[in-house]
A and B are shown apart, each in its own frame.
Chain A
Amino acid sequence: MEKYLLKLTVNGQEYEVYINPKTLLVEVIRDYLGFTGTKRGCETVSCGACTVTVNGKSVKSCSILAMQVDGMEIVTSEGLEKNGKLSPIQKAFLDHGAFQCGFCTSGMLMSATAFLDELNGRIPKKHEIKEAIEGNLCRCTGYNSIVRAIEAVAQGEYKEERQ
C-alpha cells in the first residue's frame, strides 16, 4: 500500500512520518512517535484512554485516522508539563488523589484540559464537569476525586507556573 507523508505537531514539536493511510492517530502517537502516555483500553471508542487534544479540542485518538489531523497541533499528557513545571490540572490531580492505577489518567487529563480551556475562566456547574469526562472510563476512582480536581482548577485554586 502506498505510504503518505503526514506532517503534524505533537507537544510543540513538528514531525513528519510516512504512514499507511489506514493508520489511526493513536498509532502514530504511540508507535511512531513513542508518546506512550496515551493509552488504549478498547477497540470500540468507548473508554477514552487515548484522548488527546487536536487544535485544543479533546479527541479520542483511536477514533480518527492520522491523515485527518494533517498539519494540526496535538497535545498529549506528556505535553502538559512545561520546563519541569506541572500544569494546574496535573497538580490538582496529585492533590486530590484523582488517579489510582493511572491507565486512564492521560486521557482524563486531556479531556479535562480541553474542557478547562473552553471555559475561558467561567466557573462550571458540577454536572458540566461530569459531562466533560463522561467519555473517559475510570475503573478505580469512582470519578469524584477527578471532578473535585477539575473543579479546583476551574475555581482558580491553581496558577500556571511555566518559567
Chain B
Amino acid sequence: MSTNKYKVINTRVHNIDGIAKVTGRATYTFDVKLPGMLYGKILRSPHPHAKILKIDTSKALELPGVKAVVTGKDTLGIKQGIWRRYEELCDEQILPLEKVRYIGEPVAAVAAVTEEIAEKALDLIDVEYEVLPAVFEPLDAIKKDAPVIHEGVERNINVTRHIEWGDVDDAFAEAEKDGYIREDWFKCGGQHHACMETRAAVSSYTPDGKLTVWTSTQSPYYHQALLAGVLGLREGDVRVIAPYVGGGFGGKFELDAAQFCSAVLSMKLCKPVKIVFTREEDMIASKRRTPMYYYVRTAVKKDGTFLARESRMFSNGGAYTGMGATALYLSGFFHSFPYKWRGYRYDGYRVYTNTMPSTSMRGFGAPQAVFCSEQQIEWICKDLGLDPFEVRRKNAHTEGYEVPGQAFIQSCGMKECIDKIEQWVKSKGKLPANRAIGVSSCGFMSGGIFNWFDTPYSFSSAVVTINYDGTVELHVGCQDIGQGSNTTMAIICAETLGVRVEDVKVHSGDTDHCPADLGAWGSRQTLMAGNAVKMAAEDAKRQLLEFAYAEMGMNIVYDLDIKDRWVHIVARPERGMPYFDLVKKALRGKDGQRIIGRGYYTPHRKGMISPAYSYMMQAVDAEVDPETGKITIHEIMTAHDCGQPINPLGLVGQLEGAASMALGYGYLEDMPFEDGKLMNPNLVDYKIIRATEMPETGMIEIDTYEPEGPYGAKEAGEGLTNPTAAALGNALFHALGIQMKELPITPERVLKALREKDEAKKQKKNT
C-alpha cells in the first residue's frame, strides 16, 4: 500500500462513540424512559388476508391501567409509503381500516401503565374478521384467478421495471449461430435484518401541538417527514431523535408500527408512549430482504466474450410496496454488474402476496442478482472449457466505461481485484477432497441519485461551527447506525480543517438541530454526507484563512493551509501560527461571531443510479460433507476497491460484518412460511452466524481515486454483502460438481443437488 499522504484520513482512529458503547453509557431507544411514560402494545392479525368487520375495544378499555386503545378509525386513514412521488405506491395504512394483508399486520394498539397490562388488554380486544383466500408466492399471485390483494391492482403486480440497452436480440442471434447460450432459473430466499435492537419508539406529544419521537432509525429526516404526513402535522412540528441505534441494515427507514402507533396513542393522551417490538414481532412484522425468482439467459462468444443477457425477475413483494420498488430496480442493474454487455434486458415484476412486506436489506437486491449471475458465469466457463478469471477480466468494467443510459464509471479497480484474487487462489494450491474455493466479482453504488421520496432538501447537508477555543461542532443529518458514520464524518472534517478528531464533536440524529439528510441507506453517506462535510469544513477554513492572510502579511502569491492544528505557508511549512491562536483572532475580527461553514451535496448529471461504484472480487474457501450436506467455511478473502479508505478500522469492520451477514444469507438464514405464517420467528430457529461458525477473513485493498467522492472515497460496506453467497455456490460447484440454484444453501438442498447430479450421470450413461 502506498504511504498515507493524509494526517487523519486512513489512520487508525478510535470510533468516536466507542467510550459510550464499551462502558454501557450508550442509551438506545430501548432504554429511553420519560416521566409519566406509558407502554404500548400492538394487536396483530392472525390471518394472512381478511376483512376487518368489527373491532370491539370496550372490554380492553375497562381493564384497570389501560389508558387508550386505538384502531384505524382513530387515524386519518392516510395510505403512506416511502415512494412519496408515486401515489399508487403509497399503499400502506399502518392501522388498516378495511382489511389485513399479512399475518402480523397491526390492527389495534393499546397504551397502559405497564407493558404487562397492555399485553393483557390485547386479549380483550375483539376483532371480527371475514377470512379471505390468500396467496403467498409471486408466481401464484400473478395468475389471473389469484386473490386480489389491493383493489384495482391487476394480477397483483405492484411495480414493474424494464432496463434495456444495446441490441439484445441481435446478440442472441449471433450466439445462436456461433456462440453459446445458457439459461437457468434461480430462487433466492428472504433474510431478516435481525437487528440486535428491535423496532422501538417513544413518542411524546405535548399540548402545544409538537410531537417528539425517539426512535431506532436509519433516517431521522424520513421519519420526521413520514410521521408528519400520516399524522397531519407540519414537518417542523415533528422532532425525531435517534439515540444510539442498535443496527439497521436497510430495515429501519420506512415508517414502522412502533413509531406510528406510539405517536397516535401519544397524540390521543398527551403522554409519552413507548413501544418496543418483541423479537417475534420484529421477525414477523418488520419486513425482510426481498425473495426473488430469477430467470437468466446469457449469450457469449465461444472465446468467453459476453454478448447479451436477458433476465426476468419475479419478487415476492409481500403486502406493501415500501422500499421494495427500489430493490426491484437495483437488482436488475447490479445483475449486469460489473461487466460490459453488448445488449442487456431486464424485466422485473414485484408481486404483492399475503406475506410480510419485503424491502431493502444490505445489498439492496444485488446479493440475489449476483448469486444468479456469478454462478451462471462459472457454469458457462465450465461448459466451454474457459478460465473463469480470464473470462471475468476480459468482460469487466474499466475506468471511463459508460453503462449505456445508466451509469458513468469513473474509478474502477475491477481488473486488479481479479488479478489479486487469482493469485491468492493459486497460492492455496490443491485442496483436500470435498473442499474448494469459489469466487465472485461484483460492485455497488455509493448512494442513489433517485428522488422518489420527493425531498425538497439537498440529499446531504452539514454545518461546521468553530468555537473560540478552536473546538469544532459538526452538525450532520447522516445517521450512525453502528457503521461508524459519525467517526467517518469527524475524520473528513478534521482532515479538511487541519485539526484532530478529538477537536471535533459530531451532532447527529436530531431533526431539530441537524440539517436534513436522506440518511443511512444505499451506501450513500461516505460519499454524499462526506462531500457535504468536506464542503462545510472548507467553507469554515476559507473564512479562517482570510484572517491568517491578514495576520501573517505575506506575499499574496503564497498559499496557506492548516494541518494538524498548524496554520502555515504551503511552500514553507515552518512559517506559520497555531490554529488555536488564529481562531481566537478570527472570532474577534468577526465581532464575536463563531465561524460557521456550510456544505451540501445533491448529485446532478451522474446517470441513473449513483455517482460512483465500488468494485470487488471475493473468494470463499468452503468444505462440504457429501454425506450430511453440512458446510464449513474456512476462509474468505476479498480484493476490494472502495477508492480512498477513510477509516481503516471501520473498513475492516464493514468487511467482516458483511461477510457474516452474507454467509448467513448464503447457507444459514432461512425464512420458511406455511400458509403465510413464518415458522421460525425467534433467534433459536432463525440461525444467525455465531462466533464459532465465522471463518477467517482477509482483505486486499486496491488503490483507486474516485473523483466524485470526498478525498477519492466511495462505497465501502454494503456492497461487501453481494459476492458471498455466489462465491459459496461456486465453491460447492468446484468441490462436488453441484449447481446450487436456491438460497440459502441448506444441507437438504446440497443433498438434493447431489442426488440430481447422480441421476443426471446415470441418465447420461443409459443414453
Contacts and interface: CB of A to CB of B under 8 A. Distances in A.
Interface stretch (B403-411, B532-540, B688-696, B706-714): B688-696
Interface stretch (A53-61, A117-125, A135-143): A135-143
A99 B653 CA distance: 8
Which of B649, B659, B690, B694: most chain A CB closer than 10 A? B690
A43 B280 contact: yes
Given A139-B195, A141-B657, A144-B656, A130 B691 contact: yes
B346 interface: no
A142 B18 contact: no
A80 B484 CA distance: 24
Size band of the interface chain A makes with B: 35 or more
Contact of B196 (A101, A130, A134): A101
A100 B692 CA distance: 19
A49 B14 contact: no
Nearest to A132: B691
Interface string A55-96: 000000000000000000000111011000010001001111
Contact of B197 (A41, A86, A106): A41
A36 B31 contact: yes
A103 B197 CA distance: 7
A9 interface: no
Contacts of B691: 129-131, 133-134, 136, 138, 143, 146-147
A130 to B, nearest CB: 4
A155 interface: no
A134 B683 contact: no
B246 interface: yes
Interface string B654-691: 00111111000000000000000000001110001111
A102 B244 contact: yes
B181 interface: no
B697 interface: yes
A81 B23 contact: yes
Nearest to B650: A97
B482 A137 contact: no
A109 B652 CA distance: 20
A77 to B, nearest CB: 4
B15 A47 contact: no
A75 to B, nearest CB: 11
A17 to B, nearest CB: 17
Contact of B279 (A38, A41, A138): A41
A43 B281 CA distance: 11
A104 interface: yes
Interface residues of B, number: 56
Contacts of A145: 652-653, 656
Nearest to B248: A101
Nearest to B481: A101
Contact of B24 (A36, A100, A138): A36
Contact of B692 (A36, A102, A131): A131
Interface string B276-290: 001110000000000
B23 A37 contact: yes
Nearest to A46: B683
Contacts of A77: 22-24
B697 A106 contact: no
Contacts of A42: 279, 682-683
B489 to A, nearest CB: 16
Contact of B653 (A36, A46, A141, A147): A141
Nearest to B14: A94
Given A101-B244, A103-B196, A142-B694, A37 B24 contact: yes
Interface string B375-391: 00000000000000000
B17 interface: yes
B653 A140 contact: yes
Contacts of A139: 193-196, 247, 249, 657, 661, 688
A46 B684 contact: yes
Contacts of A99: 15, 18, 21-22, 482
B19 interface: yes
A146 B22 CA distance: 12
Interface in A22-40: 30, 35-40
Contact of B17 (A47, A102, A106): A102
Contacts of B244: 101-103
B495 to A, nearest CB: 19
A38 B17 CA distance: 17
A95 B249 CA distance: 24
B196 A137 contact: yes
B362 to A, nearest CB: 10
A137 B683 contact: yes
A94 B21 CA distance: 9
B483 interface: yes
B26 interface: yes
Interface string B1-24: 000000000000011011111111
A94 B22 contact: yes
Contact of B682 (A39, A43, A106): A43
Contacts of A97: 15, 649-650, 652-653
B21 A102 contact: yes
Nearest to B694: A143
B27 interface: yes
A44 to B, nearest CB: 5
B245 interface: yes
A80 B23 contact: yes
A74 to B, nearest CB: 13
Contact of B659 (A80, A86, A104, A142): A142
B23 A143 contact: no
A137 B690 contact: yes
Contact of B690 (A49, A96, A101, A134): A134
A44 B684 contact: yes
Nearest to A127: B692
Interface in B236-291: 244-249, 278-280
A100 B483 contact: yes
Contacts of B20: 102
B196 A47 contact: yes
Contacts of A41: 196-198, 279, 683
Contacts of B30: 39-40, 103
B22 A90 contact: yes
A36 B26 CA distance: 9
Nearest to A47: B683
B683 A44 contact: yes
B482 A90 contact: no
Interface string B563-590: 0000000000000000000000000000
Given A134-B690, A142-B660, 16 more contacts: A41-B197, A42-B279, A44-B683, A47-B196, A86-B22, A97-B653, A100-B483, A100-B657, A103-B197, A103-B246, A105-B22, A134-B692, A139-B657, A140-B247, A142-B658, A143-B689
Minimum-distance CB pairs A-B, first 10 = A37-B24, A101-B482, A103-B246, A102-B21, A142-B656, A142-B660, A77-B24, A100-B482, A46-B683, A103-B196
14 contacts: A36-B27, A41-B683, A43-B279, A77-B22, A80-B23, A97-B650, A99-B21, A100-B653, A102-B244, A103-B197, A103-B246, A137-B683, A140-B196, A144-B697
Interface of A: 30, 35-44, 46-47, 49, 76-78, 80-81, 86, 90, 93-97, 99-106, 109, 127, 129-131, 133-134, 136-147
Interface of B: 14-15, 17-28, 30-31, 193-198, 244-249, 278-280, 481-484, 649-650, 652-653, 656-661, 682-684, 688-692, 694, 696-697
